[in-house]
Amino acid sequence: MAMTNDGYHIPVLLHDAVEMLVQDGAGVYVDVTFGGGGHSREVLNLLGDEGKLVAFDQDQDAKSNLIDDGRFEFVPQNFSFVKNNLRMLGLYPVDGLLADLGVSSHQFDTAERGFSFRFDAELDMRMDRQATLSAKVVVNEYEESELANVFWLYGELRNSRKLARVIVQARSEKRIVTVGQFKDVIKGLVPEMKQKKFLAQVFQALRIEVNDEMEVLRLLLEQLEHMIKVGGRVVFITYHSLEDRMVKNFIKTGNVKGKLEKDFYGNVIRPFKEVNRKPILPSDKEIEINPRSRSAKMRVAERI
């Protein structure tokens, strides 16, 4: 099997994440965001002969990094149906689960995938290339109000309505097909001093919509209560406030909305407890080596 390419993806918070995840060398663990396989390889290093690791990834490119190890199982899907897949494999419940959310370096750096505003390519952004919804479809076919909602909810952009209006006006004259065309259309709204940040927020919003990322994360979180053994752990690495808020709410209250529910005796009903009260952040050294890690936050919780 092909070994991981160092340029594919530099795993964020690698040792911290895996050491906090693996509490039993004979346990069953899940990496729901396999990518370049960096985290998975480190998990396997900590497992004994009895241990097992199941990895998920919907991106076809991830298959080039599969690990030749009898303890390793790969499922070529996203993690929205992780529980059912683990049941089918007879590996349920499990001792721990790792989710390194967001986009891999490989996806950002492969121009034709259309994830990055640094390259001119077709507007795509699909993590699963079999999916029908692409950024091109969102930009050209969504109603103005729908577009504004995407930019407001997923990019947290204050001028979301203006942005949507400009896009709708431009596409009425000519379909917007490439990253370059799209950037030209919105350039009048890009703040001069914060170009990179603004474009990152715009592209993040489109990517989240295309891949239904918030819904997929919600589905994963709602499966965890019955999927993780008591004493088992979940490790989440997030890259923007929307993901982090959802994970934080779930850990604190047992639901993604952060609504406290109590039992008859007044105890908060929640299946997990925080292992780290504050999120773990990359060190300055890691950020220097891998600048993309700078927005990462890691939260760890234990099943109770």
Residues 165-184 pLDDT 10s: 999 999 999 999 999 999 99
- Domain shared by 217 and 293, yes or no: yes
Confidence of residue 3 (pLDDT cuts 50, 70, 90): very low
How many domains are there within the chain? 2
107 is in an annotated binding site: yes
Mean pLDDT, range 73-82, rounded to an integer: 95
**The domain containing residue 44 runs over which residues?**
14-105+213-303
**In this structure, are 53 and 176 located in the same domain?**
no
Q: How many CB atoms lie within 10 A of CB 162?
A: 15
Better pLDDT: 54 or 102: 54
Residue 178 lies in a domain: yes
Point out the domain boundary residue: 157, 192, 210. 210
- Whether residues 91 and 159 fall in one domain: no
- Ligand-binding annotation for 212, yes or no, is no
**Is 37 a known ligand-binding residue?**
yes
Bridge partners for 234 per DSSP: 97, 301
CATH number at residue 69: 3.40.50.150
Task: Check whether residue 219 and residue 259 sit in a common domain.
Answer: yes
Q: Please indicate if the annotation marks 100 as binding a ligand.
A: yes
What is the C-alpha to C-alpha distance for residues 48 and 40, in angstroms, rounded to an integer? Answer: 14
pTM for the predicted model, two decimal places: 0.92
Q: Among 155, 189, 210, where does a domain finish?
A: 210
For residues 69 and 39, membership in a common domain is answered with yes
Higher pLDDT, 106 or 285: 285
Q: What is the pLDDT of residues 131-141, one digit of tens each?
A: 999 999 999 99
Q: How far apart are CA 26 and CA 48, in angstroms?
A: 6
